[in-house]
Amino acid sequence: MAWRSEIPEPKVDVSFTERVPEGDDVARDVCDTCGFIHYVNPKIVVGSVVEHEGKILLCRRAIEPRKGYWTLPAGYMEKGETTEEGAKREAHEEALAHIRIHDLLAIYNIPRISQVQLMYRASLSVPEIGAGPESLEVALYDWDDIPWDELAFPSVHWALTHYRAVQGQERIVPFGNPPGERGNRMPLKSG
Amino acid sequence: MAWRSEIPEPKVDVSFTERVPEGDDVARDVCDTCGFIHYVNPKIVVGSVVEHEGKILLCRRAIEPRKGYWTLPAGYMEKGETTEEGAKREAHEEALAHIRIHDLLAIYNIPRISQVQLMYRASLSVPEIGAGPESLEVALYDWDDIPWDELAFPSVHWALTHYRAVQGQERIVPFGNPPGERGNRMPLKSG
Ligand SMILES: [Zn+2]
Ligand SMILES: [Zn+2]
């Protein structure tokens, strides 16, 4: 899982000044040392709600932020992969899981941190899971046992709730953010 | 429109060496001058197929790449906006159009250039269009008049074809890339 914490800081002292580069129309951070323009694009998180025999795969985070809390296998998309490939890679990295992607469950926007999350519906293609390096433990939860009070992020809550709302439906229109939600607060238990 | 050309080059000589930074697990370009780590994340393009009285809005590009060719209003998502806000902004910038977004038409992956495109179905909310600074001209095309041989990018072709396939349907499952297509070649006219 790599929502925000995973990108290490630069190893040397680098200072940036925000200004509009020539030929651009938006202010960017420009390195005071070498003039390099730091384009901060919105980042794509790819993840999945993975079902196996009616249970849902959750991972307990071994890293900050929200260490010790439960999350879905998800993380930043890498260069050169597709969104589906990224979601599969994250399930493999965090839960040692091999998954089959079925369809797109939701697109969530967290504009405060310029993040777009693509969450897929998936299932285990091999009935094995295990904790990867970013997970303390992984588990398959019955719906009624999901630890709602210990979920890591609002969007984990949203994705589980949305998944449940269309469980068993074959062709679905992907969800967006719950009305009015921007990812800034944790919803109450929906159970 | 800002598929690839819009990001200006750094203004000073900057050289990078590709290596795996400490604490990271992927090779990154690291600046030889200041050590700044250049995280190249996949980029999100947001755009729309905009319909007005049965016609489709197209923009003729005023900028490279593919200057003079026709495209859909679309471009890179900016920091701090949602995907829908980005698609609306691009329609406004490139076609002086105010649009209403209806739903997600497609997610296209172009892994060679690490690009994810979110294409929405939309309509004009005000019956006015005009050429923005990145467009030579804009026009509303009847389906039969679409200039298939003068489309700028494969994904413009895909989006138009996908749009047509579900025109009039209220609830749709978003499309992905056409089977086998990675965005490396222009399809033949589908008309
Ligand atoms: Zn991760
Ligand atoms: Zn643009």
Q: Model confidence over B21-75: pLDDT tens digits?
A: 665 555 666 667 666 665 567 899 999 999 999 999 999 999 999 999 999 999 9
CB contact under 8 A, B82 and A111: yes
Q: Which residues of A touch B87 (CB under 8 A)?
A: none
Across the beta sheet with A37-38, what order do the strands follow? A16-19, A28-31, A37-38
Q: Which residues of A touch B34 (CB under 8 A)?
A: 12, 14, 31, 33-34, 36
What confidence score (pLDDT) does residue A79 get? 86
Do B9-40 and B43-165 come out as alike in CATH topology? no
Residues of chain B with pLDDT under 50: 1-12, 191
Whole-angstrom distance between the N-terminal and C-terminal Cα of chain A?
Answer: 24
- Torsional sign, CA A72, A42, B36, B25: positive
ipTM over 0.85: no
CB contact under 8 A, B44 and A39: no
CB B178 within 8 A of CB B95: no
> CATH number of the domain at B9-40, please?
2.20.70
B77, closest residue in chain A (CA to CA): A42
**Amino acid code (one letter) for A85:** E
CB contact under 8 A, B34 and A44: no
CA of A156 to the centre of ligand 1 (A): 14
What confidence score (pLDDT) does residue A129 get? 97
Q: Which residues of B touch A31 (CB under 8 A)?
A: 31, 34, 36
Taking 80 as the threshold, does the pLDDT of residue A101 lie above it?
Answer: yes
The per-residue pLDDT for range A121-148, each reduced to its tens digit, is 999 999 999 999 999 999 999 999 999 9
What confidence score (pLDDT) does residue A1 get? 42
Question: Which residues make Cβ contacts (< 8 Å) with residue A169, sequence separation at least 6?
Answer: none
Architecture field, domain A43-165: Alpha-Beta Complex (3.90)
Domain ranges of chain A: 43-165
